[in-house]
Amino acid sequence: MRSSDTLRRPSRRRTPAAPRPTPNPEQVRTLLAVALRPALVALALIAACILVTLVAANSDLTGTSGAVAASWLAVHQVQLTIGGASLGVLPLVPTILMIWSVARGCAHAVTEQTPRHEQLWVLGAALAGPLLVTALALAVIKDASSVIALAPPNALAAFAWVLGVHLIGAGIGMGSKLWRPICARLGVPEWARASARPALRAGLALLASGAALTAVALISSWAEVGELLEAGDGFGGALGLTLLSILYLPNLAVGSAAMLVGSTAHIGEASLSVFTVVGGPLPALPLLGAVPAGPSGGGWPALLLIPAVLGVQLGRDCAHRAGGPSVAVRKVLVAAAVAALALGLLGFAAGGELGSFGTVGVDLATFTGLSFAWFAVFGSLTALVVARRGGGGQEREASKPVDQPDPPRTYTLAARMLDRPEPPPVKELPGASYIEGEVVVEGEVVDSGGDPAAQSGDHGVDATEAVDAEIDDAVVDAEVADVTSDPAEADLPEGTRTSSD
């Protein structure tokens, strides 16, 4: 068989793969800013504070790099071991500021029109930069542990905390711009989206109530706070203790919020709730001067009215434009679950180990569960009442078609010959018909955009609206011949006039 007779299979041409998108120079600068700006700003502030502290204390600068690296991990709530003592209770103010900085940078980097691959670039940059800085910090701490009494922390826990903090910040920042398309893509119902804002208000209101309770306790225990400040040995020590107390203020506010819902806050052997107070040794921090030393008074359970009121307010917020009692209750339950979960995560971050004092923090199970219970029970009851009172009108309003134009209004106008001089007598022509009296015109009034005086015509009528009208065939069914020629010319026969005529 000849080779020319063999069948040749057609060659398959491979379709070239589409080139992967790469960031342009402007996008590269944006991604670098998202990745490194919060970390570099934080490291610069940390280094400045440490240098000022060491110089003010007339100390040498040995181990400065290790202190800066350890402070970077402390900002992200990574447990440290200094001199054999564990320090897991770290201030929340630097962590909150870090989350805010990351969220702000990510929010400026994306919009709703940003393609998905660019959104992933921003998220990856927001996580990659801090993880790189954390790896360098761990290496610096390991090297400095031979000079200062600082043990290297658990690397896996360090990366997990840093990743979690920056993931929350990136999620808040990008979610503030992309929550609508994300919810549409995931099929989240509208009532579930509407429950996010009431949940945020309820959680913040409970934390604000805890902060207010802390402030009242500080004012009432100002003598103990002053004694702890005097223990700072001079102006510099007192200033340092004051700044440290400010940094730990959110931690104590979280513990006070746990007390308000009926849970318990622990500071080592000491524990506090609205029902009982158990004393114990406390760290010499001026902020802890607000902790009562004796048993709680008989009026403390009245503080439980605060979460009840907040639950009522949550129900009112969720019942607003809910469209029915069932939807309002679902919104309350979702909002209560979200708020309780966020408060539980905040309580977990606010606690930890504190050297020889033991565990400091709140009872997470009861804090989360009781927060959900207060919000869900009182919020659901309030939502049912509010939705049933105004639900009928809301449901009717919801059933009304949206953006449907109203039917055009029709007017019947009587058009008369007003103030018009009587026309001269006209000879009736054969085949023509005439009508006397009123002519009924049916038309639709439309808006006039011009000069009203220019629309009045020759009828002497003051016109402010233009009338698009037709003669009603049911009223006028005839042809009207408008004779405008001179009466003398009307008697002339048809045809062309000549000079002899």
Q: Please give the Cα distance from 374 to 304 (Å, whole number).
A: 9
d(CA 232, CA 228): 7
| Cβ atoms of 80 and 73 closer than 8 Å | yes
Is 103 domain-assigned? yes
Question: Rounded to whole angstroms, how far apart are CA atoms 446 and 468?
Answer: 7
Do 253 and 142 lie in one domain? The reply is no
Whether 91 shows a pLDDT value over 90: the answer reads: yes
Residue 114 DSSP symbol:
S
Domain finish residue from 345, 365, 398: 398
435 has pLDDT over 50:
no
Q: Checking DSSP bridges between strand 277-278 and strand 352-353, what pairing results, if any?
A: unpaired
Helices vs strands, H then E, count in the chain: 14, 11
Task: Mark whether 183 and 194 lie in a shared domain.
Answer: no
Q: Does 16 map to a domain?
A: no
Tell which of 366, 398, 430 closes a domain: 398
Reduced to 3 states (helix: H, G, I; strand: E, B; else coil), residue 236 is helix
Residues 128 and 214 in one domain: no
Task: Specify the pLDDT at position 425.
Answer: 52
Model confidence at 432: pLDDT above 50: no
Higher pLDDT, residue 66 or 9: 66
The reply to whether 37 and 149 lie within a common domain is: yes
Where residue 483 falls among pLDDT bands split at 50, 70, 90? Answer: very low
Identify whether residues 196 and 158 lie together within a single domain: no
Question: Do residues 164 and 43 both lie within one domain?
Answer: yes
Q: Is the pLDDT of residue 6 over 70?
A: no
Greatest C-alpha distance within the chain: 136
Q: Which residues pair with 412 in a beta bridge?
A: 442
Report the DSSP beta bridge partners of residue 442.
Answer: 412, 470
User: d(Cα 85, Cα 151) in Å, to the nearest integer?
Assistant: 10
Q: Which of 374, 365, 373 is CA-nearest to residue 347?
A: 365
End-to-end C-alpha distance for the chain, whole angstroms: 110
Residue 131 lies in a domain: yes
Pairing of strands 411-415, 439-446: antiparallel
- Is 74 inside any structural domain? yes
pLDDT digits (tens, 9 = 90+) for 32-48: 999 999 999 999 999 99
Q: What is the mean pLDDT of residues 460-467?
A: 39
User: Would residue 260 count as lying in a domain?
Assistant: yes
Contact predicate 420/460, CB 8 Å: yes
Domain boundary (188, 218, 253) is at: 188
**Residue 81 domain-assigned?**
yes
Angstrom distances, CA of residue 156 to CA of 72, 73, 80, 150, 161: 16, 12, 13, 18, 9
Average pLDDT over residues 323-333: 89
Match 């940059």 to its residue by tokens: 125
Provide mean pLDDT across the span 313-337: 90
Structural domain count of the chain: 2
Q: Are 170 and 103 in contact (CB under 8 A)?
A: yes
Q: Please state at what angle helix 222-230 crosses helix 235-247, rounded to 10 degrees.
A: 130
Residue 453 inside a domain? The answer is no
Question: What does the alpha-carbon distance between residue 359 and residue 265 come to, in Å, rounded to a whole number?
Answer: 10
**Helix H or strand E segment including 54:** helix 25-56
Q: What b/e string do you get for 438-460 counting C-beta neighbours within 10 Å, with b at 16 or more?
A: ebebebeeeeeeeeeeeeeeeee
- 249 and 115 in one domain? no
Residues 113 and 236 in one domain: no
Q: How confident is the model at residue 58 (pLDDT cuts 50, 70, 90)?
A: confident
Residues 124 and 203 in one domain: no
Whether residues 282 and 261 share a domain: the answer is yes
Q: Both 261 and 365 in a single domain?
A: yes
pTM for this one? 0.73
Does one domain contain both 106 and 244? no
- Model pLDDT, residue 166: 96
Would residue 439 count as lying in a domain? no
pLDDT at 255 over 90: yes
* Domain membership of residue 155 as a residue range: 25-188
* Range name among 78-92, 263-277, 487-501 with the lowest pLDDT average: 487-501
In the chain, % of residues over pLDDT 70: 73
